[in-house]
Amino acid sequence: MNIKNSNILVTGGAGFIGSHLTDRLVAEGAHRIVVVDDLSLGREENLSAARAAMSGLEFIPMDLADDTALIRLRGLGKFDFCFHLAVIPLPASLVQPKWVMDRNVMMTSTIMELAREGGIQRTVVFSSSEVYGTARSVPMPEEHPLEAETPYAASKVASDSLVVAYHRTFGVDVVLQRPFNNFGPRQNSRAYAGIIPIVIERARGGLPIEIHGDGLQTRDFIYVEDTVRAAVALAQRPELIGEVFNVARGQETTILELVQTLLRIMGKDAVGVIHAAPRPGDVRRHLAGVDKAHKAFGFTPSTGLQEGLERTVAWYLGQS
C-alpha cells in the first residue's frame, strides 16, 4: 500500500501534528486528502501550506465525538488510509476529566467503526507516551506497563485498547504510533498550550517563566517533522499490522534544560524562572526505547533538539 495516489482521511488535521502530517501527505502525492477537525484547538490556517500545494484538499469541520459523526463520515466515500490524531489535550483532563475521557474514546470508536464497516482500509492511530506514566525503568520499551497518571492518559490507554480489540476481534487493519513529546511550528499556543509555546511567548514579553515543580522532570522531545515521517513510513508497512511503536529521539531532557536552551536561543537569558506547585499527574521521567521502530522500519529522527528549537523559535517570532 502506497500513500502516493491514495485516498486519505486525517482526523485532527488542523492541529499541530496533523497539519504537518497533511503537508507531508501532499508532498508524498496522495490523490485525495480529507481533513476533519472541529477546530476546538486546531486552526484552518495551519492547512494553508498544504492547500497551496494541493488545491483540492478537503477540510470538513466536524465534531468526531458527536453521535452523527459516523453517518457523516460514511458519506465521504472510502479511504485507503486514516491517520487518527483528533484528541482533547491533557490539561483539559485536569479540569473536565469525564468529558475528556468520554470524547477521546468516542472519537476512536467512531473511527474504528468506520474501519470495521470497510470505510477505511488501514488506520494509523496516534497513541501517546503518556500511557506509560512515569518510567519504572529506562529506556522505556513498548512493553513498559501502562500506568496512566492523568485522565487524559487513561483516555489514551482506553483508546489504544479499543483499537487493539477491533484488530483482534474484527481483523481491522491498524498500527499504533506512540509519540513522545513533540515540538515545532504550529503547536497550539492558546488554551491548554504546551510548555514550548508558553515559554517563547513569555520570554518574548520579558516575563518570568513558570515551571511546575523543580524542573528536573524529564521528557524525550522529538521534532514534529520526524514524527510525521514515522507515521507515513508506518502506514506503508502492512507487515506491521497490529503493532505499536514508540516514536522518539531516545534522549532525555529536563524541563529546566529545555527552558534554559529556549532562553539562550532567544537571547533572553536574563529572564527569570519561578517554580510553581507541581502539576497533578505530571510524569517524572520519560526516556523512550527506540530500538523497535529502528529495527522494524529503519526509523531514526534527523532533527536534534537545538536545531529543532531554533526552527521553532524562528517560526513563533515570525508570527504577529
- Please select the residue that binds ligand NAD; options are 63, 113, 149, 243, rule is CB under 6 A: 63
According to DSSP H, which parts of 28-136 are helical?
48-53, 69-74, 90-93, 97-116
CA distance 150 to 152: 5
Phi/psi class of residue 222: alpha, beta or left (left: φ > 0; alpha: ψ in -120 to 50)? beta
Number of residues that bind ligand NAD (CB under 6 A): 30
195 binds ligand NAD (CB under 6 A): no
Phi/psi class of residue 242: alpha, beta or left (left: φ > 0; alpha: ψ in -120 to 50)? left
According to DSSP H, which parts of 224-304 are helical?
224-235, 255-265, 291-297
- Residue 166 known to be catalytic: no
Q: Which of the ranges 27-35, 91-99, 174-182, 275-283 carries the binding residues for ligand NAD, by CB under 6 A? A: 174-182
256 binds ligand NAD (CB under 6 A): no
Q: Which is nearer to ligand NAD, 7 or 177 (CB)?
A: 177
CA distance 292 to 305: 22
Please, what is the minimum distance in Å from the beta carbon of residue 132 to ligand NAD?
11
181 binds ligand NAD (CB under 6 A): yes
Site for ligand NAD in 260-289 (CB under 6 A): none
301 class by beta-carbon count within 10 Å (0-12 exposed, 13-18 middle, 19+ buried): buried
49 binds ligand NAD (CB under 6 A): no
Site for ligand NAD in 223-252 (CB under 6 A): none
Instruction: Quote the DSSP letter at residue 8.
Output: E
At residue 109, what are phi and psi to the nearest 5 degrees? Answer: -65, -35
107 binds ligand NAD (CB under 6 A): yes
- Please select the residue that binds ligand NAD; options are 9, 17, 114, 263, rule is CB under 6 A: 17
Question: Which position has the grid cell 502492512?
Answer: 238
Please, what is the minimum distance in Å from the beta carbon of residue 295 to ligand NAD?
21
CA 231 distance to own-chain centroid: 10
Site string for ligand NAD, 134-153 (x = CB under 6 A): --------------------
Do 273 and 230 meet the contact criterion of CB atoms below 8 Å apart? no
Please, what is the minimum distance in Å from the beta carbon of residue 5 to ligand NAD?
26
Q: Which of the ranges 56-64, 195-203, 253-261, 307-315 carries the binding residues for ligand NAD, by CB under 6 A? A: 56-64
7 binds ligand NAD (CB under 6 A): no
129 binds ligand NAD (CB under 6 A): yes
Helix (H) or strand (E) holding 81: strand 79-84
* Residue in 152, 166, 223, 316 annotated catalytic: 152
CA distance 130 to 173: 24
65 binds ligand NAD (CB under 6 A): yes
Any idea which residues carry the catalytic annotation?
Answer: 152
Residues that bind ligand NAD (CB under 6 A): 12, 14-18, 37-42, 62-65, 85-89, 103, 107, 126, 128-129, 179, 181-182, 188
